[in-house]
Amino acid sequence: MFFPFIWFLSCITVQATLVRKHDETFMPDFSLRVTVKNISQGCFIRESVVVNGTSPGPTLRIKPNKVTWIRVYNDMADQNLTMHWHGLSQRMAIFSDGTPVSQWPIAPMHYFDYEILPGESDAGTTFYHSHVGFQAVTANGALIVEDVRGPPYHYDGERILQLTDYFNKTDSVIEQGLTSNPFVWSGETNGILINGVGVGIGKQNVSSCKLPVIDVLPGKVYRMRMIGATALSHVSLAFESHENLTIIAADARYTQPHNASHIQVGSGQRFDILFKTKSIDELKGLNRTQFWIQFETRDRPSVYRGYASLRYTIPGAKRAITPPAPSIPPLSLPNTTYSWLEYSLQPLIPNDFPTAAEVTRRVTMTVQQFQNGSIYWAQNGLNWTDTQTPTPMLIDIYKRGDAAMPNHTRALQNNGWDPITKFWSAGVGEVLEIIIQNTGSLVKNAGGLDIHPFHAHAGHFYDIGCGNGTYDAVANEEKLKGYQPVLRDTTMLYRYAAVGEAGKDASWRGWRLRVNQPGVYVIHCHILQHMVMGMSTGWVFGTSASEIQNIPYNDISGYLDFGGNAYGSAALYPEVVEYFKNVGPEI
C-alpha cells in the first residue's frame, strides 16, 4: 500500500521544510508554457489554450520515489491558471495538487514551481491538465510515471492514444453560455481527436484533412496507453481485425490481465492494453498493411464516428499511404456501455480492500439537475464550483485555523456537507462508502439522464461497482463475494435509459475510500461542462486544522495571498517551500 509510505514522508518533511529562492541556479526538470493561440484542430481554426505551443502538450515522463519539479508559466494576458496532475492527487507538496481549492491560481505573466513525488504504486499512465474553467479541453498532455524495476508485463514498445474533444466555440463562449440566464448549451462535440489529430464534423470529405496514424511493426507487442482527456465524450474504440486486447492497467494501477474486444474511455479515465500486431506472413495472407481504428461517442444525443489508421511499417518496403476514411463502418461497436468491465478487473497485487464490516460511514451523494433560468447541477442540494470560495480552502485553513474548517458535526447533520463552509467533511481513520446516486432531471420535470465520470483528487478509491435504480448494499455485497475491486480514480456513473422519472433514483456508482491523508480535495464529475455547472464537491479530510497545517506558518507566507512571492515573474524569483528537501533524490 502507498499510504504508510506517505505517512512516513509526512513525518520527515515536517522537520525538513526549507524555503529556497528559485533563482537562476535552480533548474526545473520540465517547463510548461501556457499560452492562447489559434491552432488547427479537426480541420478548423480555433482560439485555444495550449501548452508549449501545442495541444496536447508535451509528454512528460517522471520517475517514482524521486522529486520532480515542473515549472508552469502562465503566459496568458488575461486568464488565471492552475495545472493538475491527474491521478497523483496530493501525493506531493500540499500546494501542488493544482486546483483552486489548494492554491491561489497562477496570475497572468507569472509562474509556479510544482513539486511532485510519485510513489512506486503510481507507475502508469496519467495526464496533466488545467483546472480552470474550460481550459482543459485543449490544455492537457500525457504524464507517464515509470516503473521502478521495469513493468510487470513484457512488451516491445509503447504507443499513446490521447483522446480529446474538439468544439467550434471558444472556451469563453462555452463558459458564458453554461452560466447564463437563459442557459446556452455548449453543443455536442464537433469531433474526437487522437493525439490532437482528427476530422471535425463537416470536414469529412475534405481531402486535406489528416486522419490520426498509429505506426506499428509486425510481430510485436505494444503497450497502448489510452488517455481519456475528453471534455464531454465517452468513447468506444476498437481495432479492425485485431480483436484480442489485453487490459493490464486502469487509472495507473496494474490489473490482472483481462481480455476485451473493444475499449471504453470516459473523461479522466486511462486504460493500458497489450496489443499484439500481426506477423509478416499474416499481413501477406491478408494482402494488407493498413487497418482502421474506429471510435464512436456513446450516451449522447448524437453519435460522432471517427477513424484512425493503424499502419504497419514493413522493413525495406515503402510505407503505405493512408486512404480516405471508409464510407461504411468496418466495425460494429456495442451500443450499451454500462456493463463493460464491471465486477471484472482485479488488481495484479492484493490491495487491502476494506470489507463492509470496516466501513465506518456511508455517504450517499445524490446528483440532481435543476433549473432557475439557467440549468445547474447539485449534489445533495449543493451547487458548487471550486472557485466559489473567496480564498482557497487550504490557504484559509493556514490563515484562520479551525475557524476556516468545516464543522464535522454540522456536516453529518446536513447530508455530508457543512452549510456554512459548503465543504464536505471526513475524519482521518474513517473508511467511507461513497454512493453516487443518479436521478432523473428536474428541468421541466422531464427526467432526462446523463452519464458522469466521477473523479477523486483524494487518492485512489476502491471501485465497488454500479447498478440500476437505488443502491442495495446487501445485493451488491453478494456481487463482491470472491471479487477484489481495483483501485481507481475515475469511474462512470452510468445511465440505463435516456429518460427516467424526474427526481427519482435511476442508477448508482459505489466507492470505498480509506481516509488516510489529511488535506483539501475535490470530488467531481470530469465532464468540463458539468463542472462549470456545479457538479463538484469540496472535501476536507481531517476535523482539526492542526491535522492539515504540517508546514510552519512562517515558511508559507508567499503562498497565502494571490500573487504572493511563492509565484515567480520576470521581475521576481519565487520563494519556494521544498517540501521533500531532506528525503533525498531516491527513496
Count the neighbouring beta carbons within 10 Å of the beta carbon of residue 571: 6
Kindly state whether residues 118 and 176 are assigned to the same domain. Answer: no
pLDDT for 584 = 38
* Residues, the chain: 587
| Total number of domains in the chain | 3
Kindly state whether residues 540 and 406 are assigned to the same domain. Answer: yes
Per-residue pLDDT of the chain (587 residues; tens, 9 = 90+): 333 334 334 444 444 558 999 999 999 999 999 999 999 999 999 999 999 999 999 999 999 999 999 999 999 999 999 999 999 976 557 899 999 999 999 999 999 999 999 999 999 999 999 999 999 999 999 999 999 999 999 999 999 999 999 999 999 999 999 999 999 999 999 999 999 999 999 998 887 899 999 999 999 999 999 999 999 999 999 999 999 999 999 999 999 999 999 999 999 999 999 999 999 999 999 999 999 999 999 999 999 999 999 999 998 888 878 899 999 999 999 999 999 999 999 999 999 999 999 999 999 999 999 999 899 999 999 999 988 888 999 999 999 999 999 999 999 999 999 999 999 999 999 999 999 999 999 999 999 999 999 999 989 999 999 999 999 999 999 999 999 999 999 999 999 999 999 999 999 999 999 999 999 999 999 999 999 999 999 999 999 999 999 888 989 999 999 999 999 999 999 999 998 874 434 43
β-strand partners of 310? 214, 291
CB-based contacts of 528: which residues, under 8 Å, 6+ apart? Answer: 134, 136, 137, 231, 232, 267
Place of cell 427526481: 503
Give CA–CA dist 19/26, Å, rounded. Answer: 13
Kindly state whether residues 189 and 117 are assigned to the same domain. Answer: no
Three cell numbers at 80?
488565471
Distance of CA 478 to the CA centre of its chain: 30
Does a structural domain hold residue 351? no
> β-pairing, 487-488 with 519-525?
unpaired
First to last CA, the chain: 15
> Please, are residues 439 and 447 in contact by the beta-carbon 8 Å criterion?
no
pLDDT for 317 = 84
- Give the end of a domain, one of 337, 371, 398: 337
Kindly state whether residues 256 and 267 are assigned to the same domain. Answer: yes
pLDDT for 17 = 53
Kindly state whether residues 108 and 85 are assigned to the same domain. Answer: yes
Of 427, 323, 404, 377, nearest in space to 531 by CA: 377
Does a structural domain hold residue 346? no
- Give the end of a domain, one of 337, 372, 400: 337
Count the neighbouring beta carbons within 10 Å of the beta carbon of residue 388: 13
Give CA–CA dist 222/270, Å, rounded. Answer: 16
Does a structural domain hold residue 175? yes
pLDDT for 93 = 76
Does a structural domain hold residue 562? no
Kindly state whether residues 307 and 422 are assigned to the same domain. Answer: no
Kindly state whether residues 21 and 88 are assigned to the same domain. Answer: yes
Q: Which helix (H) or strand (E) holds 424?
A: strand 424-426
Residue 96 sits in a domain whose CATH number is 2.60.40.420
Does a structural domain hold residue 344? no
Kindly state whether residues 418 and 378 are assigned to the same domain. Answer: yes
pLDDT for 53 = 98
Kindly state whether residues 398 and 506 are assigned to the same domain. Answer: yes
pLDDT for 22 = 98
Phi (first) and psi of residue 242, to 5 degrees: -135, 80
Does a structural domain hold residue 348? no
CA 272 → CA 57, 237, 263, distances in Å? 20, 13, 10
Of 32, 252, 34, 255, nearest in space to 153 by CA: 255
Tell me if residue 338 falls in helix, strand or coil.
Answer: coil
Kindly state whether residues 137 and 212 are assigned to the same domain. Answer: no
Which residue segment(s) compose the domain that 243 sits in?
151-337
Of 15, 46, 33, 338, nearest in space to 189 by CA: 46
Listing DSSP states for 471-503 in one string gives --HHHHHHHHTT--PPEESEEEE--SSSB--BT
Does a structural domain hold residue 560? no
Kindly state whether residues 433 and 498 are assigned to the same domain. Answer: yes
Does a structural domain hold residue 200? yes
Kindly state whether residues 172 and 199 are assigned to the same domain. Answer: yes
